[in-house]
Amino acid sequence: MQKESIPDARRSEDIPFGSNGIRLSAWEWVVVAVLCSALFYFGPALWGQLGELESGPDYRLGYKLSGDYWLYDRLCRQACSRHETVVLGDSVVWGHYVPGAGTLSHYLNENAGHDQFVNLGVDGFHPAALGGLLRYYGRDISGKKVILHLNPLWMTSRKHDLQIEKEFRFNHPKLVPQFTTRIPCYKDSFSKRFSAVLERNTPLLGWTSHLKMAYFENMDLPTWTMEHPYRNPLAAITLELPVSENDDPQEYVSWEDRGISKQDFQWVEPGTSLQWSFFRQTIKLLRARKNTVFVLVGPFNEHIFKGQSADVYRKMQNEIADWLRQNNVAFFMPPALPSELYSDASHPLAEGYAMLAEQLFENESFRSSILQAH
């Protein structure tokens, strides 16, 4: 049987790559390129105008969003436009064992009689990470009054100080120097380090990370849809950010009631400390941006010391104070609070923050640098 030949007309209509579901003309590709470019450049900025972030002086970045650096950038911009003084630091400033109305910034505002102070602390931020956060995402903190907290906890061991050679998965590695300063315990691959640098300088990547953390349980869209096959991804974007989860009154107890034992800390000397070095760099960065910087050191829970911890801590305090004086940095090293006002080695309870705020308002250096008008 002779095989029927296909007419030349039909051959000319054969479509290459016929399995493709969508095919665009050259003009349509131009339209797609324009739309993608608009999304790349204007999407993050336009998203910031949707009213997703409405914060007051007692607002603090939700625990689930502590890695949302793009949102922190927006929070800085909003806070600096509304408040005269920002309070920076780790979970001690954030208020790990107190509600939003029990933090240091809250009691500072009570003493001031108006909302001068705003909480820009972030849970889990050690000095190496905080420096990167302010360098890349805190540019709006410029020409402000700044209270910068130094938590001695990060110098209680070589591990906390990031000096051990064995790999240690510390908090917020994306924010530490990726290719300059060597951090012995940081062993991430070149690709991860390069990705971290790229995200710092690409708003679209930061925005997509924000969407994942805020609305998609920190998953990418394909993974999220596999986990939730019957949910509409658009419906998940509620424009309501997760709030602080630290609202369990059972956590608001003293370190002794929690059964924490006394400790003999293996302090790192300031002269060799990586965390103290990063902290000093942060002071210089903030001052280069025309900020008035006031450093609050501690107050650390000295009641938890045993062995030689107290003597070594005093020596370390003196070295830190000497550097701050030599560089004309206003500071305050408050005495230890009563033992029952600490929840652990470094976090006060609400009554402790209230007492600390009163001590600051009584401190001459604080009054002259922070309370006086610019």
Residue 19 has pLDDT above 90, yes or no: no
pLDDT for 8: 52
Peptide bond before residue 299 is cis, with ω within 30 degrees of 0: yes
What is d(CA 190, CA 188) in angstroms, rounded to the nearest whole number? 7
Reported as a single tens digit per residue, the pLDDT across 340-366 is 999 999 999 999 999 999 999 999 999
Q: How many CA atoms does the CB half-sphere of 221 hold within 13 Å? A: 9
Domains and CATH numbers, the chain: 67-371 (3.40.50.1110)
Query: What integer pLDDT is reported at residue 358 of this predicted model?
Result: 97
47 pLDDT more than 70? no
Which pLDDT value is given to residue 354?
97
Out of 39-53, 217-231, 261-275, 325-339, pick the least confident: 39-53
Helix (H, G, I), strand (E, B) or coil at 252: coil
- Find out whether 93 and 105 touch, Cβ atoms under 8 Å: yes
Alpha-carbon distance 100 to 247, whole Å? 9
* Both tokens assigned to 352: 């402790």
Token pair of 207, please? 């925005």
Given a cut of 80, is residue 14 above it in pLDDT?
no
Instruction: Please tell me which residue, 6 or 48, carries the higher pLDDT value.
Output: 48
Q: Which is higher by pLDDT, 13 or 52?
A: 52
Higher per-residue pLDDT: 124 or 153:
153
pLDDT attached to residue 21: 55
Q: Which residue is it, tokens 């408050």?
A: 334
DSSP H or E segment with residue 197: helix 190-200
Q: How far is CA 252 from CA 54, 61, 113, 343, in A?
A: 27, 19, 26, 7
Q: How far is the first Cα of the chain from the last one, in angstroms, to the nearest whole number?
A: 99
- Confidence at residue 274, expressed as pLDDT on a 0 to 100 scale: 96
Which one-letter DSSP state was computed for residue 327? Answer: T
The pLDDT assigned to 222 comes to: 83
**Residues, the chain:** 374
CA distance 119 to 93: 7
And the tokens for 354?
């209230």
* Rounded-to-integer distance, Cα 287 and Cα 184, Å: 28
pLDDT of 249: 60
Kindly state the average pLDDT of the residues 194-203: 88
Task: List the structure tokens of 176.
Answer: 């530490």
Is-contact 100 106, C-beta < 8 A? yes
Please check whether residue 144 is in contact with residue 289, taking contact to mean a CB–CB distance below 8 angstroms: no
Q: How confident is the model at residue 1 (pLDDT cuts 50, 70, 90)?
A: very low
- Considering only residues 57 and 87, tell me which one the structure prediction assigns the higher pLDDT: 87
- C-alpha 297/C-alpha 334 separation (Å) is 7
Joined tokens for residue 323? 């550097």
- For 230-244, how does the pLDDT look when each residue is reduced to its tens digit (9 = 90+)? 888 888 888 788 776
User: What pTM, to 2 d.p., does this model score?
Assistant: 0.85
- Tens of pLDDT, residue by residue over 121-144, are 998 899 999 999 999 999 999 999
Q: Which residue has the tokens 């602390």?
A: 121
* pLDDT at position 49: 57
* More confidently predicted of 9 and 373: 373
Q: What is the pLDDT of residue 235?
A: 81
pLDDT-derived band at 202, boundaries 50, 70, 90 = confident
Per-residue model confidence (pLDDT) at position 84: 92
Give the mean pLDDT of 71-80.
91
